[in-house]
Amino acid sequence: MRILSLLLLAPFGFGVALGQAPEIEIDLTATEVLSQGQTGTCWSFSTTSFLESEVFRISGELQDLSEMAAVRVIYPEKAERFVRYQGKHQFGPGGLCHDVIHAAAVYGLVPQSAYQGGQEPGAYNHGELDAMLEGMVQTILKQSGSISPASFDAIEATLDAYLGPLPQEFEVNDKTVTPIQWRDQLGIHPSEYVSLTSFTHHPFGQEFILEVPDNHAHGAFLNVPLDELEATVNNALDQGYTVAWDADVSNKGFSFRNGWAIMPETAKTSEEWKTLDAMPAEPTVDQAARQRDFDSQSTTDDHLMHIVGRAKDAQGRSYFIIKNSWGDGNAFGGRQFVSMEYFRHYTVGVMLHSDGLPASVAKMRPQPAKKSAKKGK
C-alpha cells in the first residue's frame, strides 16, 4: 500500500519513533516514500508526490498517482526536440517539475493501478531503455535531410515495449474516465502552478528560462530575491501547501543515509555529533555566495525532491522536511532534514501552487494580457 494517512505522521510520532529527530512543526505528507529505482526520473517521482499532496489538500482524498505516466508522455517530446536541435540539445532521462505539470496538461493523470510503467514499482531500471533511446535518436540524426516520421514511430513503439502504452481511459469508482477527465475531477489545474528561482544574472521580478541542462523544455522561472524564496516556502507550508524542490545534492553536506542536508563546512564535523539537535553553527548564505557557486558550476542541478514540512532543533534552528525518492532506507524512513542555509545555497528552483505564494511574490507574476474589447460597427 502506497498511501499514508496524515494521522500516522503526527508531529510527535516522527521524532519519538526515531529517537533523535528535531521537533516536527509541520508535516503535510500524504503518501509514502517510494524508490525511483535505477532511473533518472526523480523529477517525476518528486512532482507526482507533490501532486498527491495537492489532491489531498484540495479534496481530502488520498490518491496514488502513476509516476511513470509522465515519464512516458515526456520521453517522445525530448526525442523530437533533440532531433530538431540537430543533436545540440539535452537528451536523457532527466527533467524538471514543470515536465510533470505539462504532462498533466496535455495528457492528464492516471492512478498507479492503471499504469505502472512496465516494471515492478520500487524496482524500476531504465538503463537498457535509456541506452536504446540514445542510440535511436543518434541514428535519426544521421538521416538528416531525409528524416522520416516513421523514425519517431519507432521511438513510440520502443517506449510501448518497455513502459507500456498509455491508457486512454480507465475505471474509477465503477465509472470510465479519461486521464483529462480524472485530472479535472481531482481538482488539478496545471496553469495554477508556478516555478521560482533566485539568481542575479537575470532581473528580479521577471521570468527567465533557467539555464540548467535538464530544462530541456525551456521552462520559465519567476526570479525572486533569496530571502523571498525562503519566505515563500515557509509561507506555503504555513498555509498547508507543499513544495516541489530542485537542488544540488552532489556535496558532502547532503547525506541520505544519515537523514540531513547541511552546509558542507559543517558536515565534515559530523562524527562529532550524533543528532541534528547537536548541529554546529553553519556559515551564513547570502545572494552573492549562492550566485558565485552557481556561476562557477560548483552548484549544479542534480536532484528533485518534495518539501512536506518543517522542523526545529534544540538550538531553535529550522529545517525543511523532504521526501526523497531513494526508498525508505535511512534513519528517518526516507525523509531528510534540510537546513535553511543549505536550502538557501543549493536550491536550483521550486514549484508550488500559486495560492501558496505570499502577496509580495504573487504581485511579481506576469499577468496575462487582457483581450481588447471588440468595437461595434
Q: Model confidence at 334, in pLDDT bands (50, 70, 90)? A: very high
The more confidently predicted of residues 86 and 21 is 86
On the question of pLDDT at 358 being above 90, the answer is: yes
In this predicted model, what pLDDT tens digit does every residue of 9-21 receive, in sequence order? 333 333 333 446 7
In this predicted model, what pLDDT tens digit does every residue of 271-315 receive, in sequence order? 777 777 778 889 999 999 999 999 999 999 999 999 999 999 988
CA 280 and chain centroid, separation: 29
CB distance 252 to 264 below 8 Å: yes
What grid cell was written down for 190? 496545471
Architecture field, domain 6-358: Alpha-Beta Complex (3.90)
Report helix, strand or coil for 355: helix
Q: Quick one: pLDDT at residue 268?
A: 81
Least confident of 192-206, 268-282, 363-377: 363-377
On the question of pLDDT at 5 being above 60, the answer is: no
- The residue extents of the domains of the chain are 6-358
Q: Quick one: pLDDT at residue 372?
A: 54
Q: Quick one: pLDDT at residue 255?
A: 93
Q: What is the mean pLDDT of residues 88-117?
A: 97
Q: What is the mean pLDDT of residues 249-261?
A: 93
CB distance 137 to 50 below 8 Å: no
Q: What is the mean pLDDT of the chain?
A: 91
Measured distance CA(284)–CA(341) in Å, rounded = 6
Query: If residue 171 lies in a helix (H) or strand (E), which one and from where to where?
Result: strand 170-172
Q: Quick one: pLDDT at residue 373?
A: 52
- Give the pTM: 0.92
Q: Model confidence at 167, in pLDDT bands (50, 70, 90)? A: very high
